[in-house]
Amino acid sequence: MKFFNFHTHSFSNQSDVLELVNQYPQEFDASIPFYSIGIHPWYIVENRLATDFEIIESKLKEINCLALGECGLDKRIEIPMDLQQTVFEKQLLLAQTYNKPVVIHCVAAFQEIIAIKKSLNITVPMIIHGFSKNEQTVKQLLENGFYISFGKYLLKNLELESVFKSVPNNRFFLETDTIEENIDVVYALAAKYKDVNLEELQKQISSNFQAVFKTDLI
């Protein structure tokens, strides 16, 4: 594989791209080769949680389920934070049990996510997807063991260049999430910012992938 797309919501079936496709329990598509599965804070439905968790746990046992998520906390939605936190913590404990990395959705709740990681003693890799914040925030996340994934905001926000450059090469991933651009566009900009050629960047992300996912698919 030449490219790894850390987080996308659509499977493009490109031969040179390994895609970690986000799946939701109630909409699971078994035809997707590699995926993450989790309860997004936007889509928490209390009377469905038991079923959702049963599905997630069954999929975490599968070899082509590479990660749990996306899951996390979002302070800009109406779902109560205590419910969000309960659902998030339960998913983290499942990830720990099945030794799967976690794809994190975080909006205005970085301190809470750091605190939960510490309080639950989560040791599996946790990756903040779609990062768009400042160097101070990224520094604190890195100091607490998180990985950082960049995508649409890297393309849209020129101010993220310095933030991206500040992240060590062994601690980041690249993604498309919901944008129309292909992952190679994100790779091209990332290579430019890191002042490396494309092949070097591909090798670095392949190394990061192997470190986090404990497999050599790419």
For tokens 């939960």, the residue is 116
SS3 for 68? Answer: strand
Is 78 annotated to bind ligand?
A: no
* Residue 177 is labelled as binding a ligand: yes
Q: Which of 152, 199, 208 is CA-nearest to residue 176? A: 152
How would you list the strands of the sheet with 17-23, edge to edge?
3-8, 17-23, 35-37, 65-74, 102-107, 126-128, 147-150, 172-174
What is the C-alpha separation between 33 and 183, in angstroms, rounded?
A: 17
* CA–CA gap between residue 151 and residue 196 (Å, rounded): 18
105 is in an annotated binding site: yes
Strands (E), 75-193: 102-107, 126-128, 147-150, 172-174
Burial class (CB in 10 A: 0-12, 13-18, 19+), 49: middle
Please give the DSSP secondary-structure letter assigned to residue 159. Answer: T
| Backbone angles phi and psi of 121, in degrees to 5 | 55, 50
Is residue 9 annotated as involved in ligand binding?
no
Enumerate the known binding-site residues for a divalent metal cation: 70, 105, 129, 177
Binding site per annotation, positions: 70, 105, 129, 177
